[in-house]
């Protein structure tokens, strides 16, 4: 439930952050509980339980292609064990999920143009 969530979004009067649960066989829980909001036609999501961020949503909201994510991730082999890839099932949750700290670091490097839009998840 949202009450037991370990990660919570930062308050923002400019963003309507909603909660949802998406059923998936890609996760041992059988579903992914998320905080979510739209940005530039993409869904920005954070797993309520472990803080993983749907990096694909941020990356595409910046106007980049999905193919570039693979190259970026492969260029940092130390990340491989911490990446969660969701394929199949509900389209909204498909993509590359990164731990909160990694997504924050990458956002600081590449997401300056949308920094104000990422406040709910990164402060």
How many whole angstroms separate alpha carbon 10 and alpha carbon 41? 22
* pTM score of the predicted model: 0.90
Q: Using one digit for the tens of pLDDT, what is the confidence trace for 3-26?
A: 556 789 999 999 999 999 999 988
How many whole angstroms separate alpha carbon 17 and alpha carbon 72? 28
Give the count of beta carbons closer than 10 Å to the beta carbon of residue 16: 10
What domains, with CATH codes, occur in the chain? 33-121 (3.10.260.10)
| Nearest of 58, 20, 24 to residue 40 by alpha carbon | 58
Q: Using one digit for the tens of pLDDT, what is the confidence trace for 51-106?
A: 999 999 999 999 998 888 877 777 778 888 899 999 877 899 999 999 999 999 99
């Amino acid at each position: 439930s949202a009450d037991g969530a370990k990660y919570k979004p930062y308050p923002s009067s400019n963003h309507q952050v909603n909660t949802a649960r998406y059923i998936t066989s890609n996760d041992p829980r059988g579903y992914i509980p998320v905080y979510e909001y739209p940005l530039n036609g993409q869904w920005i999501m954070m797993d309520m339980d472990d803080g993983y961020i749907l990096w694909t949503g941020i990356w595409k909201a910046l106007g980049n292609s999905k193919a570039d994510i693979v190259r970026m991730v492969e260029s940092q082999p130390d990340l491989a064990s911490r990446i969660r890839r969701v394929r199949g099932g509900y389209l909204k949750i498909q993509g590359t999920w990164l731990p909160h700290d990694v997504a924050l670091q990458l956002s600081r490097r590449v997401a300056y143009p949308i920094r104000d839009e990422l406040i709910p998840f990164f402060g």
